[in-house]
Structure 1
């Protein structure tokens, strides 16, 4: 095979360029976590998702752009990477309330925000973006990831989750979703909630619910991760499936610092 020759650059490059070059071949996975103001356990959900990713050797940047998050550092518009806080070897954090709007373009999208995040944290394998459905649909314009919806003890939290599913399905064509129930609920109740959301999504939107998992936000962080949550994260991290005729032959076979819990507000599936 002929040797690939890379031309030398005559101009010096900054450190960020060097990091982008070094990690440029790596695939960054963006996971949209849809804010639900009726679910007060979003911080615990983010922490558990990071823990499940860390078990798979992935470093995660948590970007909290929900309206309950802290505002970004004043340097965010000048040097976003300087505002990324390291919580552990596997987890980084960026407070980003209102920050995506600064990337609003002439097409009314905020897609540039995701590119800025990738450049600001080139070592992150996963970028977990917590924001409202309306903001996520602008950030992820032209992409079709599988959003993670939130529900809780309140019946109207499931209605809110369905509303988010409807918005993202109709505006972006996102049709595969996951659900995390952040509440102390039994297995039967959790299954009823997931079935109800999945049936409504399928019947009215043509959308599908892939996985559902339950976490109790009040449980100590050191408690073992639910198997269902591990499966959910494993599928989120998996490379996109190729069409069967293009697919290659099948290949052979820390716990984290606590993220502050995010808060409530107000939304019922008929």
Structure 2
């Protein structure tokens, strides 16, 4: 059984800097980045894709926290609703995990709801540089409370996964002022299906929603995990998701992407 995450990893200067502690408590940590990952029940390799993405963050010396509210995630205990820190689990030197399936629904009657809970979780884990919220689009909307987003979509081979990804993007674009999105595919990079998926999703989003596809990255879930070096396209995606932007949301909220580079559609990488 995995032990609960040890949150006593602050440096001595941090522990003795009362002002820094107060800033973390009320802002959730100015260095932290939030990334909305739209879950897709038709992507059997979603766990592998997220593992590879968090490895790319670790390669850039970042500690990732996965808040897993996907359809297949474990259901958290009731206590986690009151204290998010109770759900923290370490999975590696630079990786932590929180099971959160159905949690946003349980927080509907709580003041601040899921968005406030997410900020409290961030404050409880100041050592985490990037927080990935892996959840259905409707759940993402509850966690991010109408803030601007640049979501990351997951997809794989098969029309069902593409249809689901498009539906998620449509909902998020309508609710969160999206201007761009990223795509992570569970397919071999040289696969014709990967090229087709990137072109289909990118073209549909551009023509129907006026959204640009910034990064389209394909990973072979059966092969890439055995390679010692990260694919360059995955490293580029991770770096882009970590970028700080001049335009920030009020209240020190920093969802991945924000409104930066509005209208700029960068070419897909496949």
- Coordinate RMSD, CA, aligned: 2.7
Match of 1:5 in 2: none
Q: What is the deviation of 1:163?
A: 0.9
SS of the residue corresponding to residue 130 of structure 1 reads: strand
* Higher helix residue share: 2
Q: How does 1:68-217 map to 2 (within 5 A)?
A: 68-104=72-108, 110-184=114-188, 186-217=190-221
TM-score (norm 1): 0.76
Conservation of the 8 A alpha-carbon contact between 1:34 and 1:132: yes
Match of 1:228 in 2: 233
SS of the residue corresponding to residue 111 of structure 1 reads: helix
Q: What is the deviation of 1:75?
A: 2.9
Higher mean C-alpha deviation, range 104-113 or range 62-71: 104-113
Give the Cα separation in 1 of the matches to 2:236 and 2:226.
19
Conservation of the 8 A alpha-carbon contact between 2:157 and 2:193: no
Match of 1:255 in 2: none
Q: What is the deviation of 1:102?
A: 2.9
Match 2:45 to one of 35, 41, 45: 41
SS of the residue corresponding to residue 123 of structure 1 reads: coil
Q: What is the deviation of 1:144?
A: 1.6
Conservation of the 8 A alpha-carbon contact between 1:61 and 1:128: yes
1:91/1:19 Cα in 2 relative to 1: closer, same or farther (>3 Å)?
A: farther
Q: How does 1:54-69 map to 2 (within 5 A)?
A: 54-69=58-73
Conservation of the 8 A alpha-carbon contact between 1:71 and 1:98: yes
Higher mean C-alpha deviation, range 137-146 or range 173-182: 137-146
Structure of higher RCO (CA pairs closer than 8 Å, 6+ residues apart): 1
Q: What is the deviation of 1:88?
A: 1.3
TM-score (norm 2): 0.76
Q: What is the deviation of 1:180?
A: 0.6
Runs of 5+ consecutive residues of structure 1 not aligned to the other structure: 1-14, 244-270
SS of the residue corresponding to residue 233 of structure 1 reads: helix
Conservation of the 8 A alpha-carbon contact between 1:69 and 1:95: yes
Runs of 5+ consecutive residues of structure 2 not aligned to the other structure: 1-15, 249-270
Give the Cα separation in 2 of the matches to 1:216 and 1:27.
31
Conservation of the 8 A alpha-carbon contact between 1:36 and 1:161: yes
Q: What is the deviation of 1:109?
A: 6.1
Count of residues in correspondence between the two structures = 229
Conservation of the 8 A alpha-carbon contact between 1:108 and 1:138: no
Match of 1:6 in 2: none
Q: What is the deviation of 1:72?
A: 0.9
1:19/1:88 Cα in 2 relative to 1: closer, same or farther (>3 Å)?
A: farther
1:96/1:216 Cα in 2 relative to 1: closer, same or farther (>3 Å)?
A: same
1:181/1:135 Cα in 2 relative to 1: closer, same or farther (>3 Å)?
A: same
Larger Rg, first or second structure (1 or 2) = 1
Give the Cα separation in 2 of the matches to 1:120 and 1:238.
22
Q: Kindly provide the CA deviation profile for residues 1-55 of structure 1, in whole angstroms up to 9, marking residues without a partner as x.
A: xxxxxxxxxxxxxx9x988437565321011111111111111111111111111
Give the Cα separation in 2 of the matches to 1:67 and 1:193.
23
